[in-house]
């Protein structure tokens, strides 16, 4: 659709892309704490994911958000790419430079347990910052999914800036610091199982994702990861 828009200058084609990308990154299908996308959504508003994370989905989405950033300059798309590639580097990359296949949906026998929160947990962790965070990520005391909360966004930042009468810099810092605290706490949980198969085709997609990200943002570590993976494929797969 972006290519079609480029050649035809049809604004509706780009609108279809950006609407979808915005809804996905605001939804629960995106991991707002650790980066990366779940395999698919189980509803029509991108809220409840099937919590499994696949290499190939994230590879193609990195390419897509990188190219969408080139077209739109939307800083949110840049943030998504950087957070997703941090997730890939942290949890899906072998020391050889190869990329693993997937993370399971469940841990301790429960789907999504690693990723969801109660409001009480968040209140205890964040203290006075909790009200803003919970408002932003649709967290309630009764939960938004099976008595727990999936983090997803339904309110615009501009509306919350007015509601809490704070400036954007303070808002961004508060949300960022809150996410770091939740990330540290989540790391103490039992992790989902890892499928550490290294598949040539999926690795090639991720290599392309890193190259597309490097093309969009000029971040040298993205190129380094792509080259390391390329060497891995040449030396081990060919």
**DSSP result, 59-89:** HHHHHHHHHHHHHH--HHHHHHHHHHHHHHH
Gap between the Cα atoms of 211 and 206, Å rounded: 9
Confidence of residue 81 (pLDDT cuts 50, 70, 90): very high
pLDDT value at position 169?
A: 96
Strand 102-103 relative to strand 194-195, pairing: antiparallel
Q: Tell me the percentage of the chain whose pLDDT exceeds 90.
A: 100
Q: Tell me the percentage of the chain whose pLDDT exceeds 70.
A: 100
In which residue are the tokens 């909790």 written?
Answer: 130
Residue 189 CB-half CA count within 13 A: 19
Strand 40-41 relative to strand 49-50, pairing: antiparallel
pTM exceeds 0.95: yes
Chain centroid offset of residue 55 CA: 12
Residue 170 CB-half CA count within 13 A: 9
Render pLDDT for 100-133 as a digit per residue (tens, 0 to 9): 999 999 999 999 999 999 999 999 999 999 999 9
Confidence of residue 140 (pLDDT cuts 50, 70, 90): very high
Gap between the Cα atoms of 74 and 53, Å rounded: 25
């Amino acid at each position: 659709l972006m290519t079609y828009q480029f050649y035809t200058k049809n604004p509706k084609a780009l609108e279809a892309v950006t609407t979808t990308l915005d809804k996905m990154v605001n939804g629960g299908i995106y991991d707002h704490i650790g980066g990366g996308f779940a395999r698919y959504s189980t509803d029509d508003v991108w809220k409840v994911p099937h919590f499994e994370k696949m290499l190939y989905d994230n590879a193609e989405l990195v390419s897509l958000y990188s190219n969408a950033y080139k077209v739109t300059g939307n800083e949110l798309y840049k943030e998504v790419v950087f957070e997703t590639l941090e997730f890939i580097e942290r949890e899906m990359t072998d020391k050889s430079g190869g990329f693993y296949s997937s993370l399971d949906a469940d841990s301790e026998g429960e789907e999504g347990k690693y990723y969801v929160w109660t409001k009480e947990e968040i209140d205890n962790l964040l203290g006075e910052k909790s009200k803003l965070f919970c408002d932003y990520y649709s967290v309630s005391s009764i939960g938004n999914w099976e008595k727990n909360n999936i983090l997803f966004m339904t309110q615009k930042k501009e509306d919350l800036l007015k509601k809490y009468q704070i400036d954007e810099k303070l808002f961004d810092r508060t949300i960022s610091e809150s996410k770091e605290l939740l990330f540290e706490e989540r790391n103490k949980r039992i992790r989902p199982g890892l499928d550490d198969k290294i598949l040539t085709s999926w690795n090639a997609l991720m290599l392309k994702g890193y190259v597309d990200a490097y093309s969009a943002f000029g971040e040298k570590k993205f190129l380094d990861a792509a080259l390391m993976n390329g060497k891995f494929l040449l030396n081990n797969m060919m």
